[in-house]
Copies of this chain bind each other. A is one copy, B any other.
């Protein structure tokens, strides 16, 4: 064997990592297999030693993306509402809007996910539900938990769709401010 036993897995991981970034920056459909392989120093033909098709890569990629985001957002048991507030601040940051390649997959690939097969969408659904349940437990409000998620994704989509830097910051700031108020209102209501 000319390659170590771990080499294939390592290559697969590098390809997956690199593909995640490229897809979130430039879209998945619009990036060719050759370009994805070139990003890890290989040629297009080698791709099919790792994935049976480009769609299979998309599925694996979304699974990793959602697992990673869920880990960050849902957090660990025992954390309270402060964790949610911290997530919101980071998600709705200017840095996140400007760096889709290292950010959440949903604002960048949401539309492509919507067009994907039911397996991909099921993965996304389960991941979202886990974060929603976690946030619902911490805020005491099921609806609020979904609304926070939607607000995050929508604000990022809008922030990235506008041209002006000022408007981008306004959108993100308004969302942060609005959600902070909503969380504070919920907290007050529960303390009564």
Chain A residues in the interface with B (C-beta under 8 A) = 26-27, 29-30, 100, 106-115, 118, 121-122, 124-125, 128-129, 142-147, 149-155, 157-158, 160-164, 167, 170-171, 173-175, 177-179, 182, 185
Contact A111 B115 (CB under 8 A): no
Contact A157 B118 (CB under 8 A): no
Copies held by the complex: 2
Contact B125 A178 (CB under 8 A): no
**Separation of A163 and B124 alpha carbons in the complex (Å):** 8
CB < 8 Å neighbour of A106 from B125, B158, B167, B178:
B158
**Separation of A155 and B27 alpha carbons in the complex (Å):** 21
Contact B125 A167 (CB under 8 A): yes
Chain B residues within 8 Å of A185, by CB:
185
Given contacts A114-B161, A125-B162, contact A27 B26 (CB under 8 A): no
